[in-house]
Every structure is written in C-alpha cells, then in structure tokens.
Amino acid sequence: MEFSIKASTPEKLKTACLVLPIAGGELGAQGKAVDAAAGGALAKLAKRDLDEKAGSLLAVPLLPGVAAERVLLVSLGKRDEISEKTLRAAFGTVGKWLASNKADSAALCATDCLAGDLALPVVLRSAALLIGDADYRFDAPRAKREPRKTGAAKLEVLLVGKSDRAAAAALAQGAAIASGMALAKDLGNLPANYCTPSYLADTARKLGKQYKFKVEVFDKAAIAKLGMGSFLSVAAGSVEPPRFIVMDYKGGKAKDAPIVLVGKGITFDTGGISLKPGEGMDEMKFDMCGAASVLGTFKAIAEMQLPLNVVGLIPTTENMPSGQATKPGDVVTSMSGLTIEVLNTDAEGRLILCDALTYAERFKPAAVIDIATLTGACIIALGHQVSGLMANDDMLARELMDVGLATGDRAWQMPLFDEYQDQLKSNFADMANIGGRPAGSITAAAFLSRFTKAYKWAHLDIAGTAWKSGAEKGATGRPVPLLTHFLIQRAGA
Ligand code: BES
Ligand code: MN
Ligand code: ZN
C-alpha cells in the first residue's frame, strides 16, 4: 500500500473510498464540507445509522455532489475521549474494511481525527501503521495462487491547511513499521522446511544489500571458532546447519554506542531429546519470531533511514532429537566460559541466546534487548495480550513499558530479584538450564542475566504475543511496533 499526503478538498477528490472520521456524532471541518456538498444527507445518515463506539463503520455509496465513489464514516467515540487507543480501534476497523472490500484506492480526512492534545504526526503514524498492517496477506504455497480481488493500493491523506515535514515523516514511519511487520509475519508463517536458518541468513543478506548495511553470516565452523558451545549444543541433533547472523545498521554518528537487538531464531522446536508432546507442535515453527522481529525492525528502521546505530544478532538453528543430539545431563561450555548443565533440552532458547549476549559485549552497546518466544510460563502469567519484560536496568524497562502503552504493543515488567538465581543451582556445572516450575519466565530471564553483566539489558518474552492459534492462526508481527517506536524515540526522530 502506498501512502501520500495530498492537497485537495475532500468532497472534490476522486477516490474509491473517502474515509471520514466522526467524533461524538458530530462531523468535523472536513466532514462538514462533504456533507454540504451532499446537501446535508451525510449528517442525517450518521446520526441515524452510525454507532458511537470507536471503530464503528458506515459505508455510504454514491453520494450525489461528492466525487468519491463511497464515503466510509468511522466513529472515533466521544470527542473528549479520543486518544491514541480509540484512534487505533478506528484505523484498525477501517484497515480491515479496506482489505476485504473492492475499493482500490482510499483517502483519509486526517484533520478530523484531531482532538485534545493529539499531535498530527502521531495520528498519521498510527493510521499508516494500522491500515498498512491490516492489508497484510500471507501468500501461501498452493497449487493455484488466487489473485487478490480486494484491498486498496493507495491511501491519500487529506489535511486542512499545509502539511509539514514532521507529518510526512511520521506517515512514512508508520508505513515502514507496517512493512517491517509484514516481513516478520511472512517469516513466522513460513513453514520450517522453507524458513531454515540459511533462509533467515539469506533474508538478512538481501535486506543488507537493499538498504546498504553490513551483514555477516557465521557458519557452523565459524560459530565453533567463536567458542559458542552452548549455541552449538542445541544444533547438535539437526542436519540443517545453524547460522549466526550479525547485522550492522549505521544510521547514527560513527562513534555513537549502538542499541543491540538479539532475536531467538529456533526455526523449529521439537524440544530435542526432551521431546514435546505432539499436539500443536506445528506451532513451534513460530519459535523464530524473535529473530523475525529483529529482521522486521531492521527493515522498518532502514526504510525510514533512522539516524541511529543498531546492531542485530540472530543465533538460529533447529532443535531436533537424533543420535547426535544433546542429552539431559550433558554439560556444555558457553562462549563466556561459564558451564551449563542441560537438564532439559527443551529449554534451548536461553542456550542459544546466552552466547549471542556474550558476543554483544564487543559493541560496547548503549543497551541490549533480546526478543524471544522463550517460555510457555509467560503465556500462563500474562496471556496473549502483553509481552513479558525483565531487565537489569529499571529505567530501560520503564522506557519500553511506556512505549508499549503508548503504541498498543504492550509489555509488562516482571521482577528479577537475586533470590530467583538459587533455582538455577547445579551440582555438576556453573548453572542448570532450568529452574523448576515456579516463576518459569523469571528463571529463564535470570539465566540470561548471568551473561548480560557488561551492559544495560532488557528481555522481551513474546511467547504469548508473537502468534495467534486457532482459526486465526498466524504471526502477529509483534513486537516490531514496540521495538521500532523505542528506536525512533532513542533517535529523537
Ligand atoms: N519455545 C518454547 C516456549 C514456548 C512454548 C513458546 C509454547 C510458546 C508456546 C521454549 O523453547 C520451551 O520449550 N520452553 C520450555 C521451558 C521449560 C523446559 C523450562 C517451556 O516453556 O515449557
Ligand atoms: Mn523449547
Ligand atoms: Zn523454543
């Protein structure tokens, strides 16, 4: 979907669908102009047929006096209750409507969205993100690929008065985040026989080529040379070779300390010798959604040319059982030198992340954030609404929580008190890789915290938020919005 700002009066614009926001049943300035051209029909219809709840829609075709083929009224809720949240509800349903209807172009009367202290750039970024994201479709491998019959190819934004640089930049940012989410969803949705560690590496290389940032890919021998014995212990049972991907985006000043993003890239998690039960195991193809969110975020920041230095690290492998696989009780040596007793081969995410976190030290980072579908326990604790968040720095945690609350891609902090470390005691190594049933998400983070002492670090457990099960089974693209907004804020852009 293409997004642009267009200087035109709404009633005269030729478009398949003119999207007209309305608050508290009262038309705004742009709405009044359209209503006047239609001889007052629109106000009457809105009053009679449109629900006031934010996100309610009413499509009105062929209004005489109006150039658009249809007007799509969308309710923003009560005027004094308009917020980023109600706007998201409105843009979300508009996006769904456009994606499933035949209108092939659309225009948004954006000025009529403004209320209270909402800034225009915030409105435009949110509109492009939600309407762009709703347009996503997974192109599944099928015998006959059906051509798309619905969806709008472009969205024009109409403003009262002149547009400015900040508005145009925000619109482009929203569009870039949507395209980053689309990449993350595609990678998540692809089955594990397509989306292998090498496929993720090729995706990173292509992004690097397209947007001109450096990408380095380590193969198994190079990973061994780095001393990543913990990472390689997870790859031991797999025929498909592992990869360690390093992306270096330099949008900031050469000497500025980078933000490092580390994504868990298990392209399929069988559990290994500690084999998972069969039911629903297909969903473990989504166990690389942390890696996908890093790739998606890189696409977004590169597309918007964000002035910030960001490093992306992706350890990626399958977790398979075999005659060569790591066994419960095996002791492995991580890149840091710390030894780990692998009591459960299904707690593999932390085993690949710990070596990537040690590797991160060499960048002298401003902060490191890892993103991982790490624990089923996180779904029990927080459900599918919010991501788990743990950190060794409360300011960084607060920053991420606040960005999440503002953008709707929420995360919630859990404690990382020292006492939890006791659960990782081992008689046979520096630590065990599991801490028992109590506080499973926290002990996983406690394990990672032993490898993050050199810098400020936050951990996002996205086990509950990265994909949906059931009829709507599919990747969500989260937490690309959270990460990208965080980076935008850090860049001061
Ligand atoms: N990838 C899983 C976590 C997971 C499970 C995410 C279900 C989403 C849905 C992870 O590798 C795992 O298996 N974790 C174990 C840890 C346990 C063995 C300590 C878990 O959560 O059961
Ligand atoms: Mn596992
Ligand atoms: Zn896993």
List, for residues 336-369, the tens digit of each pLDDT value: 999 999 999 999 999 999 999 999 999 999 999 9
- Summarised one tens digit per residue, pLDDT across range 426-447 is 999 999 999 999 999 999 999 9
Domains: count for the chain: 2
Question: Are 123 and 268 members of one domain?
Answer: no
Judge whether 154 lies within some domain.
no
Q: For 4-23, what is the mean pLDDT?
A: 96
CATH of the domain at 280: 3.40.630.10
CA 204 to each of CA 90, 130, 144, 212, 288: distance values in angstroms, whole numbers, following the listed order: 34, 25, 29, 11, 14
Last residue of a domain, one of 135, 165, 189: 135
Portion of the chain with pLDDT greater than 70, in percent: 100
Rounded to an integer, what distance in angstroms lies between the CA atom of residue 262 and that of residue 372? 8
Rounded to an integer, what distance in angstroms lies between the CA atom of residue 244 and that of residue 316? 6
Rounded to an integer, what distance in angstroms lies between the CA atom of residue 45 and that of residue 42? 5
Judge whether 315 lies within some domain.
yes
If phi over 0 gives left and psi between -120 and 50 gives alpha, with beta otherwise, what is residue 383? left
Last residue of a domain, one of 102, 135, 168: 135
Question: Are 116 and 252 members of one domain?
Answer: no
Q: Which atom of ligand 1 is nearest to the CA of 433?
A: 19
Count Cβ atoms within 10 A of the Cβ of residue 83 and give its class: 0-12 exposed, 13-18 middle, 19 or more buried. Answer: middle
Question: Are 127 and 185 members of one domain?
Answer: no
Ligand 1 pocket: which of 350, 375, 379 to mutate (most atoms within 8 A of CB): 375
Q: Which atom of ligand 1 is nearest to the CA of 319?
A: 11
Lowest-confidence region among 50-54, 176-180, 489-493: 489-493
Q: Which atom of ligand 1 is nearest to the CA of 440?
A: 19
Q: Provide the token pair at 487.
A: 């980076």
- For residue 286, how far is its CA from the centre of ligand 1 (angstroms)? 12
Question: Are 283 and 397 members of one domain?
Answer: yes
347: domain range? 177-491
CA 231 to chain centre: 24
Judge whether 155 lies within some domain.
no
- Pocket-forming residues, ligand 1, beta carbon under 6 Å: 269, 287, 344, 346-349, 373-377, 434, 440, 463
Question: Are 390 and 282 members of one domain?
Answer: yes
Question: Are 131 and 237 members of one domain?
Answer: no
Q: Is pLDDT of 493 > 80?
A: no
Q: For 82-109, what is the mean pLDDT?
A: 97
Judge whether 433 lies within some domain.
yes
Ligand 1 pocket: which of 281, 346, 443 to mutate (most atoms within 8 A of CB): 346
Backbone angles phi, psi at 385, to 5 degrees: -85, -45
What's the confidence (pLDDT) of residue 146? Answer: 83
Q: Is pLDDT of 162 > 90?
A: no
Residue whose Cα lies nearest atom 9 of ligand 1: it is 376
Structural Rg of the chain based on CA atoms:
24
- For residue 283, how far is its CA from the centre of ligand 3 (angstroms)? 11
Nearest to 444 by CA among 356, 384, 325, 354: 354
Question: Are 300 and 206 members of one domain?
Answer: yes
Question: Are 120 and 185 members of one domain?
Answer: no
- Summarised one tens digit per residue, pLDDT across range 122-147 is 999 999 999 999 999 999 889 998 88
Residue whose Cα lies nearest atom 3 of ligand 1: it is 375
Q: Pairing between strand 431-432 and 339-342?
A: parallel
Question: Are 130 and 183 members of one domain?
Answer: no
Last residue of a domain, one of 76, 105, 135: 135
Looking at the CA of 463, which ligand is closest? 1
Provide the β-strand partners of residue 412: 388
| Res. 164 pLDDT band, cuts 50 70 90 | confident
Looking at the CA of 384, which ligand is closest? 1
Judge whether 443 lies within some domain.
yes
CATH of the domain at 66: 3.40.220.10
Question: Are 203 and 292 members of one domain?
Answer: yes
What's the confidence (pLDDT) of residue 7? Answer: 87
Judge whether 337 lies within some domain.
yes
Nearest to 161 by CA among 4, 7, 5, 3: 7
Please provide the average confidence, as pLDDT, over all residues in the chain: 97
Looking at the CA of 279, which ligand is closest? 1
- Summarised one tens digit per residue, pLDDT across range 390-412 is 999 999 999 999 999 999 999 99
**Residues bordering ligand 2, an ion, CB closer than 5 Å:** 269, 346, 348
Question: Are 422 and 337 members of one domain?
Answer: yes
Q: Which atom of ligand 1 is nearest to the CA of 443?
A: 19
Lowest-confidence region among 160-169, 247-256, 306-315, 375-384: 160-169
Rounded to an integer, what distance in angstroms lies between the CA atom of residue 301 and that of residue 371? 17
**Residues bordering ligand 3, an ion, CB closer than 5 Å:** 266, 269, 287, 349
For the question of whether the overall pTM of this predicted structure is more than 0.95, the answer is yes
Nearest to 298 by CA among 264, 244, 356, 259: 259
Provide the β-strand partners of residue 74: 21, 57
Looking at the CA of 377, which ligand is closest? 1
Question: Are 125 and 204 members of one domain?
Answer: no
CA 102 to each of CA 57, 105, 157, 379: distance values in angstroms, whole numbers, following the listed order: 16, 9, 19, 38
Judge whether 97 lies within some domain.
yes
Written as one letter, the residue type at 36 is A
Catalytic residue selected from 88, 125, 299, 350: 350
Judge whether 143 lies within some domain.
no
Instruction: Give yes or no: 350 in active site.
Output: yes
Rounded to an integer, what distance in angstroms lies between the CA atom of residue 480 and that of residue 295? 9
- For residue 398, how far is its CA from the centre of ligand 1 (angstroms)? 26
Rounded to an integer, what distance in angstroms lies between the CA atom of residue 439 and that of residue 442? 5
